[in-house]
Amino acid sequence: MGLLDGLRAVLGMRAETDAGRDADPDDLFGMSTAYLTMEADLGYESLDVGALCFSGVDSADFRDAVDEVEAILEAGQEETGTDFSVTSDDHGYQWVVLADDDPEDLITSMHFAADTFIEHGYGSRLLAAVFAYRNRDGPAYWIYSFRRGRFYPFVPRAGRERDSSAEFSLESALDGELEIEREKEYWYPLWPSEGGTHPWE
């Protein structure tokens, strides 16, 4: 089992079939207040990193779209201070990885990237956005499924176990601030690669 085994099925084609509405990158701005709740109320520290996962298309037009995403992020880098890179994982998924100690700038940059794909007609290639946190027990992530238009928590533990109690606590605490996925079958885990890392690490 690799980094995103089955992601295409769960966040991709299957989720698209079951989608309740079109995904809207404006939903990402919900993290602007959610990070305050995570830090002030729940004791989670933002890791100042986010990642946008998408599946590529072997075409010049799609490469142009990726180039424009990079150009937009590079142009905004001086103003926002958001560092970025575009990378691929071992399973053929591509990632825009963003780092910024200002959550507002991080979210805005991720929104620009997602919106650019949509403007180019590749919104269907967007799979997920990931926001990373940590507390004394370990990492925790909020994942936004573009196909479902909803957020869900993912709290991994050693041995590819999930801390379901922590996930349910995060769901309860952020309900109302984020559009949360109600169907738990779509709370799909993003496990590290065989090397033990995620693209944003």
Q: Any idea what the CATH number is for the domain that residue 119 is in?
A: 3.30.70.1130
Q: Is the pLDDT confidence value at 18 over 80? A: no
Q: What is the mean pLDDT of residues 36-59?
A: 93
Residue 195 lies in a domain: no
Helices (H), 1-155: 7, 14-18, 31-36, 60-80, 103-119
> By the 8 A CB rule, do 126 and 117 touch?
yes
pLDDT number for residue 17? 46
Question: Domain containing 136: what range?
Answer: 7-186
Residue 144 lies in a domain: yes
Higher pLDDT, 127 or 5: 127
Q: Is the pLDDT confidence value at 78 over 90? A: no
Number of domains, the chain: 1
Residue 181 lies in a domain: yes
Q: What is the mean pLDDT of residues 119-133?
A: 92
Q: Is the pLDDT confidence value at 110 over 80? A: yes
Residue 197 lies in a domain: no
pLDDT number for residue 152? 97
Q: Is the pLDDT confidence value at 42 over 80? A: yes
Residue 2 lies in a domain: no
pLDDT number for residue 170? 97
Residue 194 lies in a domain: no
Question: For residue 100, what are the contacts with CB-CB under 8 A and spacing of at least 6?
Answer: 48, 80, 81, 82, 83, 106, 109
What's the pLDDT band for 23 if we cut at 50, 70, 90?
Answer: low
pLDDT number for residue 12? 47
The whole-angstrom separation of Cα 76 and Cα 82 is 8
What amino acid is encoded at 151 in this protein? F
Burial class of residue 172 (count of CB atoms within 10 Å of its CB; 0-12, 13-18, 19+): exposed
pLDDT number for residue 79? 85
Residue 201 lies in a domain: no
